[in-house]
Structure 1
Amino acid sequence: MNVVLSETDAMRRALGLALQGPRSGVNPQVGCVILSPAGELLAEGWHHGAGTPHAEIEALTRLAEQGGSAEGATAVVTLEPCNHHGRTGPCSLALIEAGIARVVYAVADPGVRSAGGGERMREAGVRVEHGLEAPAVEEAIRPWLTSVRLGRPFVTVKWASSLDGRAAAADGSSRWITGPEARADVHLRRSEADVIAVGTGTVLADDPALTARAATGDDTTGSSTPAGTGTDAGTHTDTPDTLYPHQPAPVVIGERPVPAGSRLHAHPLPLRHFPTHDLHAVLDELYRDEVRSVFVEGGPRLASAFVAAGLADEVLVYLAPTLIGGPRLAVTDLGITRIDDQRRLDIHHLDRLGQDLRIIARLRDEATPGSAESSAPSKE
C-alpha cells in the first residue's frame, strides 16, 4: 500500500532525512520528499556531502529509476532549492524541467549566489510556498544558516568546569574534572565541526592532539579538561579505529610559535597557525576557505576573547559536581566592570551526562539576520 503523507509530515520526514547528511562542511543538510497530487510518497532524498547530488536531484533520480514521473507532483524541501551552478547544477531548474507543479520549502536560502530558487520556479509557473515547519528546520541547521547569514563561521565556545567555575586546580592539573560521558560527548561534537581552535598557551601547556576520538572505554581516549588549560593532553596515541571518520582541522591562534615536536603536527589534517589576536581576521580567512563551523576548546583566554568580542554563537559548558577553588577560572576577563553590562544568556538545552551537566546557551542579545521566518506557509 502506498504511503500517504500530509505536507507537514512530509516536511518532518524531509528534515529527518536531511540530518542523515554530514553536519560539517560548506554545504547545508537538506532533505527532499516528492508527493503525488494525492499525497502519496513517490521518492525522497538527502544531500550526502560536497560534490554529491543535492537532495532534490537525488529524489528526482530515485523517482526516475523507479519508472515514476514528477509531472504534477509536489516537492517538499527543507531549504529553498538552490539557484546557481556550483559543483552541481541549480535544483530549481531541475525541478522545473522535471515537471514539478508545486514546491513547499521551510527556510529561504541565505546564500548570495544560491538564493532565488523560489522566484525562479514561480516565474516558470511552479506554485511555491515557504515557511512550513520553519522553526524546526532553522534550529536543526542553525550553524550553517548563521554562518552564511553572518559571512563568518558559526562559533561554539566550549569549556568544562567545577561548580565553582574552575577549569583546573591551582597547580594546573585537571585530569579529570568531568566524567567519561561528558568527555565522549566532547569528541562527538568535535567530529561535527570543521575546525577546532585553541590558543598557543594551550598548545604549550597541554600538547593536545585535537582529534575527535570514539569512546573505547578508557580515560586515555579523550577528555574535556585534562592537564593544563582544558583540552586533551596525555599519552594517548590515535589509531584509525579510534578516530571518527570526520576530523576537525586543527587551528592555533596566538603569536607564540607552535613547537616542532607538538602532537598537532601528527594530526590527520594540516595544522593552521594564525599568529594574531585579531579573531575577526581569523574567522574571515577561515570563511573564505569554506569553513562554516569552529569549535573553540582552549584555553580560558581564547574562550573569553571570543565571548568578549561577541563572536560566540553558542556556549557549551560541561559542569561537574565538584569544588576546586583557587585562581584557575574557566572564563577570564570579559571587559565587564559594571553588573549592568553582564552578558546574559538563554539556556537552550540542559542535559545530564553521567554525573555532569551539559549546558548549551546563547547570548540573549544575539540577532541572526533572517532567522524569524514565519512557521505558517506563505505563497510567493
Structure 2
Amino acid sequence: MAQKEMRALGTAPHHAHEPFMQQALDAALQGHRGANPLVGAVLTDSRGAVLSVGHHRGAGSLHAERDCIARAQSSGISDFSGTTLYSTLEPCRNYGRTPACTQLIHEVGIGQLVYGAKDPTANTGGADILTEAGVSVVAGVMAADAEALNHRWTAAQKQGRPFVTVHLAQSLDARIAAADGTSQWITGPESRTHTHTIRQRIDAILVGTNTAQVDDPRLTARTPDGELAETQPLRCVMGRRELAPGAKLTQGRPEGDGWAQLRTRDPFEALLTLASAQHNGFPVRHVLVEGGQSVLSAFVAADLVDEIFAYVAPVLIGTGQDGSARNTLGSIGVETLTDAPRYGLDPADGGPVTVMGDDVCLHLTPKGAQ
C-alpha cells in the first residue's frame, strides 16, 4: 500500500473499521474467561482482505495478536508491510507468561494497529510504544462493545482480586442436597467431566468448611478417564473451623503445600489473601468457588461473582417431610425483586446453553457484561 493510502486508511472514520473489529469481537468469544481478558484479533492486507483471525485461549497461551500473526505466518505470509492488525484490546507492553505483543507487532513490520478498548490496567501504554515506533494507530473502534466484553474482568483488576467463577450443580428446584443431606450425585458424569476441565485451567478452587466436612471432597482436577491431571489447582477452604484430620482435600497432588485454609468468612478478604499468593509458580488470578450454600451466598451478596456455570439436572428434590432441604443459596440480602442481582447468558467459551448428557449447563455473567 502506498504511503498516501496508508494515511487515508489511518484517518478513515471508525465505521470503516467496524466490520473487522466485529470479526475480532466474535473471535474473542471462542476463548474462556478467567485470569486474562477475552481478546480477538484480525489481520488484513492492504486491500482489506482478511489474512488471519486469532484469539486468546487462556493464561499461558498465545495472546490474540500473537496467535493471529502466527496463523498468518503458518499460511506462508512473511511480508507484513501494508497490513492492518485489529485487536479488541490495546496490545500489551509487559512480559508475563508470554512476551509483549507490542514487540512482535513492531518486529514483523505491521503498518497499522486498530484497537477497541484501552488496557484498563497499569500495563496500559502499548499503543504509545507502537506509535513511537512508527506504527499508525487507530484507537477506540467499537470501544463500548470491547469494554463490555471484559466488564467483570476489568472489575476484578480494579479491585485487586482474582476473577471468580462459580460452579452450581443443582436440581430443577434449585436444591443441592436432599433432606437427609445426600448430594452425590445430582448431576451426571458429563457435567462433572466439564467441571474438571474448568478445574484444570483455574489457579485455585474454594469451598466452605461445612462442605469440606460433610462431602470430604478431594478438589482435584481429573482427566475424563479419572486420572489426576498434570495441572492442579490450589485447594482452599474458607472458614474458621478446623478441618478433620486426614481430610481428602489435604491429600493428593501436589502433596503438602497444595491446599490452604482461609480463616475468614469474608469473601473479599479471602480473595485478597489469594491475590497475594502463588501456586505452581504463578500468582493466583482465577478462583473457582464450588460451595456450599453459605459460601456461595456470601460471594453473590458481595457482588464477587464474575461468571457462573450452572448445571441443572432433570430431578426434583422438594423439601422432605419436615420441610428441610438445602437450597443452592441462602440469604443474599434481597428483600424485594428489584434488588435481585441479574445475570445474562454468556456467549463465550462454548456458548450460553449446553446440553451435557441429561443435564443443561447455563453459562452466565452479571448483567452489564457481554
Give the TM-score, by structure 2 length.
0.74
Q: Secondary structure at the match of 1:176?
A: coil
Give the counterpart letter for 2:91 in structure 1. P
Q: Secondary structure at the match of 1:75?
A: strand
Q: Partner of 1:306 in structure 2?
A: 299
Q: Is the 8 A contact 2:25 2:146 kept in 1?
A: no
Q: Is the 8 A contact 1:45 1:58 kept in 2?
A: yes
Q: Is the 8 A contact 2:41 2:64 kept in 1?
A: yes
Give the counterpart letter for 2:304 in structure 1. L
Q: Deviations over 1:6-51 (max 9, x none)?
A: 984587379648957x865x55565555443234666777667767
User: Alpha-carbon deviation of 1:362?
Assistant: 3.9
- The yes-or-no answer on 1:209 pairing with 2:218 is yes
Q: Counterparts of 1:191-210 in structure 2 under 5 Å?
A: 191-210=200-219
Q: Partner of 2:246 in structure 1?
A: 261
CA distance in 2, matches of 1:93, 1:133: 24
CA RMSD of aligned residues (A): 3.7
Q: 1:12 aligns with which of 23, 32, 36?
A: 23
Instruction: Indicate how the Cα distance of structure 1 residues 54 and 258 shifts in structure 2: closer, same or farther if over 3 A, else same.
Output: same
Q: Is the 8 A contact 2:27 2:54 kept in 1?
A: no
Single out whichever of 51-60 and 101-110 deviates more from structure 2. Answer: 51-60
Q: Partner of 1:72 in structure 2?
A: 82
Give the TM-score, by structure 1 length.
0.72
Give the counterpart letter for 1:254 in structure 2. G
CA distance in 2, matches of 1:311, 1:359: 18
Q: Partner of 2:356 in structure 1?
A: 353
User: Alpha-carbon deviation of 1:254?
Assistant: 0.7
Q: Secondary structure at the match of 1:109?
A: coil
Instruction: Indicate how the Cα distance of structure 1 residues 298 and 50 shifts in structure 2: closer, same or farther if over 3 A, else same.
Output: closer
User: Alpha-carbon deviation of 1:203?
Assistant: 0.9
Q: Deviations over 1:37-72 (max 9, x none)?
A: 234666777667767775545766787896833333
Q: Secondary structure at the match of 1:360?
A: strand
Q: Is the 8 A contact 2:27 2:53 kept in 1?
A: no
User: Alpha-carbon deviation of 1:361?
Assistant: 3.5
Give the counterpart letter for 1:180 in structure 2. P
- The yes-or-no answer on 1:343 pairing with 2:331 is no
- The yes-or-no answer on 1:104 pairing with 2:130 is no
Instruction: Indicate how the Cα distance of structure 1 residues 78 and 254 shifts in structure 2: closer, same or farther if over 3 A, else same.
Output: same
Q: 1:189 aligns with which of 198, 206, 220?
A: 198
Q: Partner of 2:259 in structure 1?
A: 271
Give the counterpart letter for 2:234 in structure 1. A
Give the counterpart letter for 1:95 in structure 2. I
Q: How many residues matched? A: 335
Q: Partner of 1:177 in structure 2?
A: 186
User: Alpha-carbon deviation of 1:347?
Assistant: 4.4
Q: Is the 8 A contact 1:11 1:77 kept in 2?
A: no
Q: Is the 8 A contact 2:266 2:298 kept in 1?
A: no
Identical pairs, percent: 38
Q: Is the 8 A contact 1:143 1:292 kept in 2?
A: no
Q: Partner of 1:95 in structure 2?
A: 105
User: Alpha-carbon deviation of 1:356?
Assistant: 2.6
Q: Secondary structure at the match of 1:167?
A: strand
CA distance in 2, matches of 1:16, 1:184: 25
User: Alpha-carbon deviation of 1:314?
Assistant: 2.8
Instruction: Indicate how the Cα distance of structure 1 residues 18 and 91 shifts in structure 2: closer, same or farther if over 3 A, else same.
Output: farther
User: Alpha-carbon deviation of 1:296?
Assistant: 0.8
Instruction: Indicate how the Cα distance of structure 1 residues 318 and 64 shifts in structure 2: closer, same or farther if over 3 A, else same.
Output: closer
Q: Is the 8 A contact 1:17 1:46 kept in 2?
A: yes
Q: Secondary structure at the match of 2:186?
A: coil
Q: Counterparts of 1:213-252 in structure 2 under 5 Å?
A: 213-216=222-225, 239-240=227-228, 243=229, 245-252=230-237
Q: Deviations over 1:86-124 (max 9, x none)?
A: 566543354345433211224322221x21212333344
Single out whichever of 82-91 and 156-165 deviates more from structure 2. Answer: 82-91
Q: Secondary structure at the match of 1:251?
A: strand
Q: Deviations over 1:196-227 (max 9, x none)?
A: 110111111111011222334xxxx5xxxxxx
Q: Is the 8 A contact 2:21 2:116 kept in 1?
A: no
CA distance in 2, matches of 1:45, 1:324: 45
Q: Which ranges of structure 2 fall in alignment gaps of 5 or more residues? A: 1-16, 278-282, 347-351
Q: Is the 8 A contact 2:20 2:86 kept in 1?
A: no
CA distance in 2, matches of 1:23, 1:59: 19
CA distance in 2, matches of 1:192, 1:277: 26
Single out whichever of 333-342 and 35-44 deviates more from structure 2. Answer: 35-44
Q: Is the 8 A contact 2:164 2:289 kept in 1?
A: yes
User: Alpha-carbon deviation of 1:272?
Assistant: 1.8
Q: Partner of 1:232 in structure 2?
A: none
Instruction: Indicate how the Cα distance of structure 1 residues 74 and 183 shifts in structure 2: closer, same or farther if over 3 A, else same.
Output: same
